Amino acid sequence: MTTPAIHADGLVRDFGPIRALDHLSFEVPAGIVFGFLGPNGAGKTTAIRTFLGLVDPTAGSARVLGYDTRREGDRIRERAGALLEHHGLYERLTAEQNLDFAGRIWRMSPGDRRARTRELLEQFGLYARRREAAGKWSRGMKQKLAVARAVFHRPPLVFLDEPTAGLDPVASAALRDDLAALASGQGVTVFLTTHNLVEAERLCDLVGVIRNGKLAALGPPSTLRPRETSTVRVSGTGLDASVAADVSALPGVLGAAIEGGELVVHLREGERASALVSLLVARDVGIDEVRRDRQSLEETFLELVHEDGDR
């Protein structure tokens, strides 16, 4: 049995009257990309701070890489990399100096620091501008630099608080690829937070949805994938009100109507569309397409986040 990268056990953190984390218990196996998904103020950033030992839990405990966050925070910080809420770059220093500082902090040799700077900045397409003050870079460029700094010393565990915030779609996709490669190729555990469902789905092996400091769902992203609804849409020729009326009469059909030239059929939950299709063929309808409506990602997310018990 390998130790899980993160093991949270009944974590509670209060800020005065606000309960930022509410009995949070879950486990992140080593070597995966874990996505922490939740709306603003859900407690994602607080969770990361707690795991890094920067904030002590009010109750409960967490072990990160096998170390207790309360007592052994320094061991955790020694082995982790982090991109927190703010990028934390020194804007008066150049990009190169910012990375060099990270390398010195983690006691990398000068040669290694140079090579790593080149490797990471080239990967992000920023190497040519390494001598510019970081403060003069665009928001997205700073964000990339901050990610580079977080992984600079090749930590086995990386915390990334909204890493793709401020990145354009192309850059986000590229960063996702890099993070995926990091996890699969080098066995690094990535713990990231995001508001973005698509991102969570594309990148993460495991996703936790947090809401009001509580874990609302935990599982592989397929569990988040949009669910099929019981609405079927048919397009084609020969669709008219009389066809709709006949379809409505079929067993298992709750209702049917013509909307925008399409036949929209509401089936009973779990019902297949075969009887419907047979009828349409018998009525000589020229069928172009039969498709089932899917819930949008957004709807799924909203459902998870607002499920009953919301306080």
Partner 1 sequence: MIGDILTVAWKEWLEFRDQLLRLRRGGLSALVVLVMLGIFTPIQMGPLWLTSPLMLGYWPLLSSGMVSTLIADAFAGERERHTLETLLASRLSDRAILLGKLVAAMLYGLVFTLANVVVGVVTLTIVHWGEGLQAPAPSHVLYLFSLVTLACSTLAGIGVFISLKASTVRQAQQTLGIIMMVLFIGPVLFIQLLDGDARVSLAARLTTMGTGRIVAWACATLALLSAILIAMGMARFRRGKLSLD
Ligand X SMILES: Nc1ncnc2c1ncn2[C@@H]1O[C@H](COP(=O)(O)OP(=O)(O)OP(=O)(O)O)[C@@H](O)[C@H]1O
Q: What is the CA radius of gyration of the chain?
A: 25
165 scored as a contact of Mg ion (CB under 5 A)? no
* Per-residue buried b or exposed e for 86-120, using 16+ beta carbons within 10 Å of the residue's own CB: ebebeeeebbbbbbbbbbeebebeeeebeebbeeb
- Write each residue from 194 to 223 as x if it is in contact with ligand X (CB under 6 A), else as -, in one continuous string: ------------------------------
Q: Please list every residue from 65 through 84 that binds Mg ion, using CB under 5 A.
A: none
SS3 state at 42: coil
88 scored as a contact of partner 1 (CB under 8 A)? yes
Q: Which does 40 bind (CB under 5 to 8 A by kind): ligand X, partner 1, Mg ion, none?
A: ligand X
Among 6, 8, 11, 20, binds ligand X (CB under 6 A): 20
Strand-pairing partners, residue 6, are: 28, 64
Question: Nearer to ligand X by C-beta: 86 or 131?
Answer: 86
45 scored as a contact of Mg ion (CB under 5 A)? yes
Question: Nearer to partner 1 by C-beta: 117 or 300?
Answer: 117
- Write each residue from 128 to 167 as x if it is in contact with partner 1 (CB under 8 A), else as -, in one continuous string: -----x----------------------------------
* Residue 135 contacts residue 68 (beta carbons within 8 Å): no
Q: How far apart are alpha carbons 167 and 164 in whole angstroms?
A: 5
Burial of 237 (0-12, 13-18, 19+ CB in 10 A): exposed
* Per-residue buried b or exposed e for 127-152, using 16+ beta carbons within 10 Å of the residue's own CB: eebbeeebeebeebbbbbbbbbbbbb
Q: Which of 181, 30, 162 is nearest to 119 (CA)?
A: 181
Choose the stretch contacting ligand X; rule: CB under 6 A; options: 15-23, 113-121, 146-154, 230-238: 15-23
At its nearest, how many Å lie between partner 1 and the CB of residue 69? 11
Q: Which does 56 bind (CB under 5 to 8 A by kind): partner 1, Mg ion, ligand X, none?
A: partner 1
At its nearest, how many Å lie between partner 1 and the CB of residue 20? 11
CB-hemisphere CA count at 13 Å for 83?
24
Among 11, 47, 55, 209, binds partner 1 (CB under 8 A): 55
Question: Nearer to partner 1 by C-beta: 7 or 79?
Answer: 79
18 scored as a contact of ligand X (CB under 6 A)? yes
* Residue 200 contacts residue 221 (beta carbons within 8 Å): yes
At its nearest, how many Å lie between partner 1 and the CB of residue 96? 11
Question: Nearer to ligand X by C-beta: 40 or 274?
Answer: 40
Question: Nearer to Mg ion by C-beta: 44 or 211?
Answer: 44
Looking at this protein, which amino acid is placed at residue 221?
P
- Write each residue from 30 to 49 as x if it is in contact with ligand X (CB under 6 A), else as -, in one continuous string: --------x-xxxxxxx---
Q: Please list every residue from 91 through 130 that binds partner 1, using CB under 8 A.
A: 91-93, 97, 101-102, 104-107
Burial of 29 (0-12, 13-18, 19+ CB in 10 A): middle
The packing angle between helices 139-151 and 169-186, to 10°, is 0
Chain contacts with partner 1 (rule: CB under 8 A): 49, 52-56, 73-74, 77-78, 80, 82, 84-93, 97, 101-102, 104-107, 133
